[in-house]
Structure 1
């Protein structure tokens, strides 16, 4: 109860509660922004990460922008504010529509840790071919250092029913084989084209892909199957349109799946490994992920890269 009370006391009301510091990143494809700011709501200045995301339009709302809509007097036209370019039949305008139809989503991490800020600050990316030896010497200790309450409390809150109870789609509380399915915060829960679930395993024993072996096959299958069922039953999205994968290295050190509509296009790069491929590899060799080399992208400022360079490992420039 004390934790819930504290959370309410520092609940931000607007971006005016924070002081702008700088723009960390702009995602060109969507023009979404990640901003570094400072807040004082905990009693001292602490950093905040602010994510500004424009929502997708809902297809059902588009007709009311135009004349002849079946909605009649509910027409909400898009006003042309500025003509940016006109050449023959080609026009480009800055337009304005009712903000209820295209709201601004704001995601906030506050207080943000140095690791949070590093994660969202663009840097040069290096590619590491991680052997089992490199994993044992450098990567395992890094993973274990982040599998702690400070980093995972928000995950445990969901799994234990303390936070986000109203958003849970599926929950199994078994300490070894249980898991919880929730909509990912990167999805607005309205546009099925951009469906995105996170499936959180209850067990704290599986921190990353390297901890998975043949004894987990049925568990891995069930996590995927329940996510597929939930997507169809609750949102009408069939399994043929869904991808289910894990990241390696993961962003947080407790087994979890990403389940997305393939039309999102989010599954990119060597970090993304399909769950079906993981299961196939384990069926061929139960110790596949203890024996294999894995390719991982790392920031040039990453702790693992720094530790390897300190030992004389050379990354080709």
Structure 2
């Protein structure tokens, strides 16, 4: 976009930024992508907001993007998943050490399903009844678990990877552990994102939770909160929210623990995230004995049109066709 500002006014405006004298940070939001700074310019108060610019998406920029990164630091690796911090500032004239300004996740080698998941696509709202779950979704989950997609989870649970990152752990039939989510940069508290993984392997998703599990879920919730505020003493429990995904990305029950200030994107939206406290309340008020559970209720959520669940199950159901999972 070409500026219509007169040259003399533009030159004056551009001269102001180098004169900005920082006083204090006012706010950091957009998951750390935007900051608001208070300062002065020539003894007058000034407020400066800085936000990371959008990525250039023309092919020339995208082809050179990987080689334009510097100060790449690996934060962890597990199976096909790798995550890094990196700097995008690569000016030949600036030899100073630049702080990382990008969080990178690498999936290598990736599958066709990874490609579909991260591609732009339309969304559909679907209602999964207990009957649809039992007839189609549960067998679908079984298939995915048998394809080795949980290797990275089992690597953590069995002590082969990421043990240095484990914040808290309890062993046993109702054991679980807490560690940073791979999408967090591990330093920006306002975008804190941790993950609670259970040790038992018979609970694949929220659908497997029953009234008999309520005591265990409450215990796990309190321990996850206690461990988080102990490690990050500037946080209080009521600054954290816990939720689970349905449908989840992988079929091994896990709980997300995030800062309440973390901007709610699609992964925290209605149709994807279920608050843990709401799940507990729903289980407690379900009719029936201890075996009554989340498999007995209908759940509504959104799906991408390129997802396997939409293509293999919900689209055929919508069109009155036979569902073929193989």
- Range into which the TM-score falls when normalised by the shorter chain: 0.5 to 0.7
RMSD of aligned residue pairs (Cα, Å): 3.3
Q: Do the aligned partners of 2:125 and 2:271 also contact (CA within 8 Å) in 1?
A: no
For residues 152 and 133 of structure 1, the distance between their equivalents in structure 2, rounded to whole angstroms, comes to: 26
Match of 2:270 in 1: 269
Q: 1:25-174, aligned counterparts within 5 Å?
A: 31=54, 100-148=98-146, 150-174=148-172
Match of 2:307 in 1: 302
Q: Which moved more, 1:256-265 or 1:118-127?
A: 118-127
In structure 2, do the counterparts of structure 1 residues 210 and 309 end up closer, same or farther at CA, with 3 Å as the change threshold?
closer
Query: CA shift at 1:217, angstroms?
Result: 0.9
For residues 49 and 169 of structure 1, the distance between their equivalents in structure 2, rounded to whole angstroms, comes to: 20
For residues 215 and 281 of structure 1, the distance between their equivalents in structure 2, rounded to whole angstroms, comes to: 13
Which of 194, 197, 206 matches 1:197?
A: 194
Render the CA deviation track for 1:159-199: whole Å, top value 9, x for unaligned.
1111011110011221x200110011111111111111000
Q: Do the aligned partners of 2:117 and 2:307 also contact (CA within 8 Å) in 1?
A: no
For residues 233 and 251 of structure 1, the distance between their equivalents in structure 2, rounded to whole angstroms, comes to: 29
In structure 2, do the counterparts of structure 1 residues 160 and 50 end up closer, same or farther at CA, with 3 Å as the change threshold?
closer
In structure 2, do the counterparts of structure 1 residues 242 and 33 end up closer, same or farther at CA, with 3 Å as the change threshold?
farther
In structure 2, do the counterparts of structure 1 residues 221 and 312 end up closer, same or farther at CA, with 3 Å as the change threshold?
closer
Match of 2:216 in 1: 219
Q: Do the aligned partners of 1:241 and 1:261 also contact (CA within 8 Å) in 2?
A: yes
Which of 201, 226, 230 matches 1:229?
A: 226
Gaps spanning 5+ residues in structure 2: where? 1-32, 34-50, 66-79, 321-326
1:188 maps onto 2:185 in alignment: yes
For residues 186 and 151 of structure 2, the distance between their equivalents in structure 1, rounded to whole angstroms, comes to: 24
| Structure number with bigger Rg | 2
In structure 2, do the counterparts of structure 1 residues 33 and 249 end up closer, same or farther at CA, with 3 Å as the change threshold?
farther
In structure 2, do the counterparts of structure 1 residues 178 and 52 end up closer, same or farther at CA, with 3 Å as the change threshold?
closer
In structure 2, do the counterparts of structure 1 residues 121 and 310 end up closer, same or farther at CA, with 3 Å as the change threshold?
closer
For residues 306 and 52 of structure 1, the distance between their equivalents in structure 2, rounded to whole angstroms, comes to: 33
Q: TM-score, normalised by structure 1?
A: 0.67
What count of residue pairs does the alignment treat as equivalent? Answer: 240
Gaps spanning 5+ residues in structure 1: where? 1-26, 38-47, 56-77, 82-95
